[in-house]
A and B are shown apart, each in its own frame.
Chain A
Amino acid sequence: MEKSLTRYIWNHTRRQQIYILIVVLVSMVPYFLSFDLPKRIVNGPIQGNGFGEPGARQMFGAISLPIPGYGSVRLFDGIDLTRMEMLYALSLVFLFLVVVNGLFKLYINTFKGRLGERLLRRIRYQLIDRILRFPPSQFKRMKGSEVSSMVKDEVEPLGGFTGDAFVQPVMLGGQALTALAFIVLQNVWLGAIAAFMVGIQAVIIPRMRRRLLVLGRERQITARELAGRVGEIVEGIGTIHAYDTSNYERADIAHRLGRIFKIRYDLYQWKFMVKFINNFLAQLTPFLFYCIGGYLALKGDLDIGQLVAVISAYKDLPGPLKELIDWDQTRQDVQVKFVQVVEQFEAENMIDPSLQALPAPVAAAGMAAAGLAGVAAATTAGVHQASPAEVKVSASPEEEAEAMRESVGPLAAVNLTLSDDSGARLVERVSVQIDPGETVAIIGAAAGGGDALAEAFARLIWPESGRVTLGGKDILELPESVVGRRLTYASSDSFFFYGSLRDNLLYGLKHAPLTEASYEGSLMLHRKWEINEAKLAGNPHHDINSDWIDYSAAGASRPEDLFASILTVLDAVQLSKDILDLALRTTIDPQTRPELAERIVEMRSALTGELEEAGLNGLVVPFEPGAYNIEATVGENLLFGTAVGPRMMPQALAKNTYFRSVIDQSGLDRILFDMGYQIAENAVELFSDLPPDHPFFQQLTFMSADDIPLYQGLMQKLRGGNGFERANETERGQMIRLSFQYIEPRHRFGLLTRELMDKIIEVRQAFHENMPEDMREEIERYDPERYLASATLMDNVLFGRISNKHADGQKRIRSIVSSLLNTMGLLEQVLDIGLDFNVGAGGKRLTIVQRQKLNLARAMIRRSDFYIFNRPLPGLDHRLQDEILRDVMKLVRGSGEHQAIVWVLSNTSLATLFERVLVFDRGLLVEDGHHEDLARKNGVFKQLVAS
């Protein structure tokens, strides 16, 4: 990128700048005409110059062309008008000029604005393009939020300046020079004084502003650092809380803000000081005119008329001059900003753009359209050039898939030496070749060098000396479209983008827009506009709405087949269960998926059958309209539905007058009160002498530790029979509340009798039957034949409660449900819902284990020649690691002949599963061979395995 902003702007907007300059010059004609006109109106028709006698007429709009040495040629004689007519005619011309001037202004400002915005887009794109081409080492020194503040905020003023970069100095300079020349014409000496003062202003003010630039640069850097620190606080919030350093961070931020304030305040002080001096110098000139000119006039050396003319001519000079100086200030300011930003985006060893280019030559022709013709012409021209065919990748997907079937040749490290940032050697002169189809385990101590070699294969570390080659060619010189598809790398250090699980899983398949999205009508026009604008700003115009997923790379021939590939991979890394769980925990809108909702309802009876067959009858206790559900709470049994509106929520229910009236009328309040009393008695007996932070309180679902003293007091007061009568309204509520949470098989206090259950069902029915109309919408009643929109998918399948009696009830039911979904052909739809799960920023809504599995799945779904796994699953226990490794190997083996695996193992004992083992020790490749041979050798391998 150019170091000078002016040069950068000139290089990219040359034609537009010249064009707009011409437009501005043309616009000057009506502008100056409109200056002259008022005088003519006043002098002519109003004051009556030339209309001396009544009925006098004048010619309007006569045009004559003066030709030097000949006289003048009359081109148009004009129209003969009376005084009144003349007034109207001239006024109308004035109105016309006002409109023309306004339109010119509108056009020029819009054009300049657009020019600036395009350039801003270009700069931003180029900066981000550079980030994508930085060598990996660059990122160790960058803070993401600082970079984003540079791209977003710091280049912003550059756009505003672009339109004025050349037009403004020319215009203002011209105006100032004209005014100066006018003064000189009136009187040479006074003109010389004015020129001298202008010279002083032009020299002193920019000098004084240098300090402003220094301060401006400081302000920019401190603000950027602040952005970096804010980003750090957000990302490191866990660490900050863990070590109680929030006040340290506060102090740091306050300190920074203080510095920024100081810089800004200094800046203001200087700015206004400079302004003061500037104004003073501008006012000094008239002072000299009055003083010296007046002296000369009094002495008779100067004509008074001349002096007055000079003074009146001078009033046109300070305006343009001041604006010119301001313009220069802005120029220097944005220049500094530009340099500051561009410097940060300079790096050695940038990746060559050609290595990242899409295989097809992307149309560069659009550039030419951005010429002088500007507005309308460019729009139509650009559209023609951007016919969709040109955007497509030249090789068809079939050809590419064909090429991918062929092996690319061995992956090799040749005399490879790697070092870290401090210069310490990670790997020292290692030469090793991995052939297609091999399975290779890399083992060694943590800093042995195996992981560094894997990172070098993935281009995360660039060699200090030696090379990594693929099929005999240096991987740093091969296009990324080859290396990035032939090699697949996964480590424990995973990154996920904000979006759905599916987006992240398929991320590794999105190399190029394969199928163009088709547009119609206004969308088509919009797309054409998008392409054209992208070209004008030097941006690529690949369509983000195209289908970017390379289905063939995932082993699917059509989009519909992709799911099979996804499922195989998810099974291999044991993530499908997690995703199914995610899906089963979501609530879906039955309106959007009516078919699924219907099938889920059907599944309820199928599940009952399935459970019966497996001899697990009691595992799920279903909700039946006429029966008490023993595994649900008393409250749930009463309500028999899920609350949708606020008045039915558990907290509000006790205050719900209708609900209370139903309970009171049935006499259930007295029974539930007694029940609550007994629960309180039991709870107090069990927990009263435990400290409030005791872990046992987790088990006490209906009370918190703080409630114990309250209930102790209540029981003392209400002891000895007739408690219900003696209790006041709140106390009754407090007791009844306890009973609502009670589940007999779980709490086992023996409080629920047959009669009570029947009574509850009776009250339930009364509650639902007589419910006021407006309340019916706030509760979704349990109905075995209907999908519950407010409940999760799992709750809809079970339509009941899992029994507490069975060990691992949850787990078992989940496996039964998942196999049932499979046999009913619903698994795909349900997993699809799970894949919609948003993983959050950086995948943080997933657990660490899920993230590692997803990371591995994302790698596995791509078909490539070499899979490099660098301790991808450190968070998993050994048994899972073992199982997943076996499945992954089976999957890779099954996908083709020449697929090779390189796996850096954290669990050395798994090395026996690989054909070849590389043993690293202190950066050296010490052993290489089959594990059995190595075991016999009594070397490092044997020690590692033994430990």
Chain B
Amino acid sequence: MLLKDEVQMLRRVPLFSGVEPGKLKLLAFTSDRVSYGVGDTLFHQGDIGDAAYVVLDGTADILVESPTGPIKVAEVERNSIVGEIAILCDVSRTATVKATTGVEALRIRKDHFLKLLSDFPEITIQIMRVLADRLSHTTSELTEARSRVRQLE
């Protein structure tokens, strides 16, 4: 796939919708295009986070280790970003991400990603939006779980 086709693809990702095409080309050039087969892991829980992934095509499961085995907590969909928490907060991976279909992704290395955020406020705002979205999602799930626990008691 050529750089200019990739740029077209990146423009469809909501995260980068506000970024001008020239910068998208730079982003595409500096990040690695990677593909995964079904069942491949993008990264493991507990590893040191060195990159974030933009899933261009395919889906993946987000799994968290628990004493009873891995629990699926969410799903990564097409055109979304995953793995940014470990980079932003400098913690080890909080979950394992496993491809459920063939996955085409853009792997953005940690220092590149951070530079991207400081260079392009548009992307930062988008990331904030994604995180806030997730937080509200988690909060509502927590509320639900708590009320369920209370009912059980």
In the bound complex, CA of A749 to CA of B48 (Å): 33
Q: A694-B115, A748-B1, A748-B2 are in contact. Are A879 and B47 (CB under 8 A)?
A: yes
Chain A residues contacting B42 (CB-CB under 8 Å) are: 807
A658 within 8 A of B: no
Given known pairs A748-B2, A749-B2, the reply for A696 and B32 (CB within 8 Å) is no
Say if the beta carbon of B6 comes within 8 Å of chain A.
yes
Identify which of residues 676-698 in chain A touch chain B, using a CB-to-CB cut-off of 8 Å: 682, 685-687, 690, 694-696, 698
Residues of chain A in range 686-725 having any CB-CB distance to chain B below 8 Å: 686-687, 690, 694-696, 698-699
Assess the B40–A877 pair: CB atoms within 8 A: no
Which residues of the partner chain B approach A804 to less than 8 Å between Cβ atoms? Answer: 32-33
Please tell me which one of the listed residues B6, B30, B45, B48 contacts residue A696 in the complex, with CB atoms under 8 A apart.
B30
Which B-chain residue is minimally distant from A812 (CB atoms)?
B40
**In the complex, which residues 865-898 of chain A have their Cβ closer than 8 Å to any Cβ of chain B?**
877-880
Given contacts A695-B112, A696-B112, A748-B2, contact A879 B29 (CB under 8 A): no
In A791-843, which residues have CB < 8 Å from any B CB? 804-808
Task: Tell me the residues in window 176-227 of chain A with beta carbons closer than 8 Å to chain B beta carbons.
Answer: none
State whether A877 and B107 are in contact (beta carbons under 8 Å apart), knowing that A686-B29, A696-B26 are contacts in the complex. Answer: no
CB distance from B85 to the nearest CB of A (A): 16
- When the two chains form the complex, which single residue of A696, A807, A878, A879 contacts B115, counting CB atoms closer than 8 Å? A696
Q: How far is the CA of A867 from the CA of B29 in the complex (A)?
A: 52
Whole-angstrom distance between the alpha carbons of A685 and B22 in the complex? Answer: 8
For residue A300, CB closer than 8 A to chain B, the reply is no
Known: A696-B112, A877-B48. A807 touches B26 (CB 8 A): no
Q: Is the CB of B29 within 8 A of A699?
A: yes
Give chain A's interface residue range (CB within 8 Å of chain B).
20 to 34
Q: Convert B34-68 into 0s and 1s, putting 1 for each residue whose CB lies closer than 8 angstroms to a CB of A.
A: 11110010101111100000000000000000000
Q: Is B40 within 8 A of A807, CB to CB?
A: yes
Judge whether B3 and A699 touch: CB under 8 Å.
no
B14 CB, nearest partner CB in chain A, Å: 23
Task: List chain B residues, Cβ under 8 A from A686.
Answer: 22, 25-26, 29
Closest-CB distance, A421 to chain B (whole angstroms):
36
Q: A807-B36, A807-B40, A807-B107 are in contact. Are A699 and B30 (CB under 8 A)?
A: yes
B141 at the binding interface (Cβ < 8 Å) = no
Known A-B contacts A686-B26, A877-B92, A879-B44; the reply to A695 vs B3 at CB < 8 A is no
Q: Which chain A residues border B95 with CB–CB below 8 Å?
A: none
A695–B34 touching, CB < 8 Å: no
Q: What is the bound-complex CA distance between A686 and B31, given in angstroms?
A: 13
Q: Which of B33, B47, B48, B107 neighbours the largest number of chain A CB atoms within 10 Å of its CB?
A: B33
Task: Indicate whether A750 sits within 8 Å of B92 (C-beta atoms), given known contacts A804-B33, A879-B44, A879-B47.
Answer: no
> Which residues of the partner chain B approach A879 to less than 8 Å between Cβ atoms?
44-47, 92
Segment 384-426 of A: residues with Cβ below 8 Å from B: none
Residues of B within 8 A of A687 (CB): 26
Dominant secondary structure of chain B at its interface with chain A: mixed
On whether the beta carbons of B26 and A805 are closer than 8 Å, the reply is: no
Most chain B CB within 10 A, of A615, A696, A750, A804, is at A696
Asked if B144 is at the interface (CB within 8 A of a chain A CB), the reply is no
Asked if B105 is at the interface (CB within 8 A of a chain A CB), the reply is yes
Q: How far is the CA of A698 from the CA of B48 in the complex (A)?
A: 21
Minimum CB–CB distance for A909 against chain B, Å: 10
Report A-chain residues with C-beta under 8 Å of the C-beta of B105. Answer: 807
B133 contacts partner chain A, Cβ-Cβ < 8 Å: no
B111 contacts A by Cβ under 8 Å: yes
Q: Which residues of A contact B35 (CB under 8 A)?
A: 805-807
State which residues 1-35 of B face A: CB under 8 Å.
1-4, 6, 22, 25-26, 28-30, 32-35
Which A262-309 residues have C-beta < 8 A from chain B? Answer: none
A750 in contact with B2 (CB, 8 Å): yes
Closest to A809 in B: B34
- A343–B22 alpha-carbon span in the complex (Å): 75
Most buried by A among B6, B30, B44: B30
Find residues 121-140 in chain B having any chain A CB closer than 8 Å to their own CB: none
Q: Determine if B112 and A878 form an interchain contact, defined as CB atoms under 8 angstroms apart.
A: no
Shortest beta-carbon distance from A66 to chain B in Å = 101
Whether A748 contacts B107 in the complex (CB less than 8 A), given A807-B35, A879-B46, A879-B47, comes out as no
Least CB distance, B97 to chain A, in whole angstroms: 12
A686 to B3 Cα, complex, angstroms: 12
Contact of B33 among A694, A805, A880 (CB under 8 A): A805
Q: Are B46's CB and A878's CB within 8 A? A: yes
Q: Which residues on A sit within 8 Å (CB–CB) of B33?
A: 804-805
- Cα A718 to Cα B48 in complex, Å, equals 48
Known: A695-B112, A696-B115, A879-B45. A807 touches B34 (CB 8 A): yes
CA–CA, A565 to B72, complex, Å? 40
A806–B34 contact, CB under 8 A? yes
Q: Which residues of A contact B4 (CB under 8 A)?
A: 750
Report the separation of the CA atoms of residues A747 and B36 in the bound assembly, to the nearest whole angstrom.
20
Q: A807-B105, A879-B47 are in contact. Are A695 and B26 (CB under 8 A)?
A: no
A760 → chain B closest CB, angstroms: 20
Within the complex, the shortest CB–CB distance from A18 to chain B, in Å, comes to 73
Q: Within 8 Å CB of B36, what residues of A?
A: 807
| Among all A-B residue pairs, the 8 with the closest Cβ atoms | A879-B46, A807-B34, A699-B30, A748-B3, A750-B2, A696-B30, A695-B111, A686-B26
A sample of 19 cross-chain residue pairs with beta-carbon separation below 8 angstroms, ordered by A number, consists of: A682-B3, A686-B22, A690-B26, A695-B111, A695-B115, A696-B112, A747-B3, A748-B28, A749-B3, A750-B4, A805-B33, A805-B34, A806-B35, A808-B40, A877-B46, A877-B48, A877-B92, A879-B45, A880-B46
Binding site for A on B (CB under 8 A): 1-4, 6, 22, 25-26, 28-30, 32-37, 40, 42, 44-48, 92, 105, 107, 111-112, 115
